[in-house]
Amino acid sequence: MNFLAHIYLSFDDEEIALGNFIADSIRGNKIDHLPSRIQKGVILHREIDTYTDSHPIPKISSKRLHKNYSHYSRVIVDIYYDHFLAKNWKHYSDTPLKIFVDNFYDLLEDNYTILPTGVQRMMPYMISDDWLYNYSKMEGIDRVLQGMDRRTKNRSKMNFAILDLEEHYSDFEREFTSFFNELITFSKQKYKSL
């Protein structure tokens, strides 16, 4: 799953959300310097990723893309799934998406000093371009995919993945909906056990 899903699956726990958000920027077990609840957010993020990577539904979504994007197909699916979460947000939260993401941006700014350097560098762009809110729009997902392609020095060809999303939109959305309900249940259980 991508940024928005990880934040959502922190169940309104700010410290867990911070850890869940920064986890990809932390290598191995180098989390001892972080507050305890943020460490638990990192752990939750990794549990979510392990569950997602082993689940058959995201594998179906990824297989549809594998011919064109090889090992990048899983990253693309994560981005697609964040789109469907944002697009269908009202089914998952009583808090409007714009308020939810603005509150999270405030949380990042309030905790800037403990964020990994890479996240500190990325954060101004994320906020100014309102990445999380714009996941709900096809143009927003297209911009994310273009950016990801640039980061791979145009090797991934992820800039073309918006076409695959358009072509198989209902299949990806159906798969997301089915999978995400199971992921919420799994994540709640892991969250409670932290």
Per DSSP, the three-state class of 129 is coil
Range of the domain at 88: 3-193
pLDDT tens, 34-73? 999 999 999 999 999 999 999 999 999 999 999 999 999 9
Kindly state the percentage of the chain with pLDDT values over 90: 96
According to DSSP H, which parts of 2-160 are helical? 3-8, 14-22, 36-54, 56-69, 73-87, 97-110, 117-128, 131-134, 138-151
* The pLDDT value given to residue 9: 98
* The pLDDT value given to residue 27: 85
